């Protein structure tokens, strides 16, 4: 089944990231494209949870950024509570709506990052990773359309 992972990842904007994300999950060895999409949505959710944890740390280490961190916290909660559940339901049913949820997750992460004064974001690495994972996930969801 590794072949479906490779073939699928070759059709995404980041083959190496796609392979690494999917190969790190044992479910990918027996998954179809729907299953691969769901695995990636799980990765988006996990990264959202990790980022919310980093926001909590940043409240203590960068209190002067509280307003921006509050905004980011809301945006990442939206990813976790709205975008991810929407994408999961839609991938199993109507993939067109999954694409919208994942695009929104990417936009939410980007808007969070843009809110920080230049060079002061403690979330840049996580935000960039979120956008890249979303790009790969969107490519896979489009294969279902």
Q: What ranges do the domains of the chain cover?
A: 42-143
**Structure pTM?**
0.95
| C-alpha–C-alpha distance, residues 22 and 108, integer Å | 23
Q: What is the model's pLDDT at position 2? A: 52
Give the residue ranges of the chain where pLDDT is below 50: 1
Q: Using the structure block, give the residue that is written with the tokens 């929104």.
A: 104
What is the CATH code for 42-143? Answer: 1.20.140.40
Handedness of CA 135, 14, 24, 90 (dihedral sign): positive
CB atoms within 10 A of CB 40: 27
Q: What is the model's pLDDT at position 1? A: 47
Q: What is the model's pLDDT at position 96? A: 85
Q: In terms of Cα–Cα distance, which of 140, 138, 135 is closest to 32?
A: 140
| C-alpha–C-alpha distance, residues 60 and 134, integer Å | 29
Q: In terms of Cα–Cα distance, which of 90, 18, 80, 30 is closest to 55?
A: 80
């Amino acid at each position: 089944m590794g072949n479906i992972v490779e073939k699928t990842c070759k059709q995404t904007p980041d083959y190496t990231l796609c392979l690494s994300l999917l190969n790190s999950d044992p479910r990918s060895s027996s998954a179809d494209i729907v299953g691969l999409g769901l695995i990636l949505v799980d990765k988006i959710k996990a990264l959202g949870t990790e980022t919310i944890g980093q926001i909590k740390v940043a409240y203590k280490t960068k209190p002067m950024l509280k307003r921006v961190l509050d905004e980011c916290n809301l945006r990442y909660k939206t990813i976790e509570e709205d975008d991810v559940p929407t994408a999961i339901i839609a991938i199993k049913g109507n993939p067109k709506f999954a694409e919208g949820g994942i695009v929104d997750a990417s936009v939410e992460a980007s808007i969070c990052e843009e809110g920080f004064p230049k060079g002061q974001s403690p979330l840049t690495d996580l935000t960039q990773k979120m956008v890249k994972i979303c790009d790969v996930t969107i490519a896979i969801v489009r294969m279902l359309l």
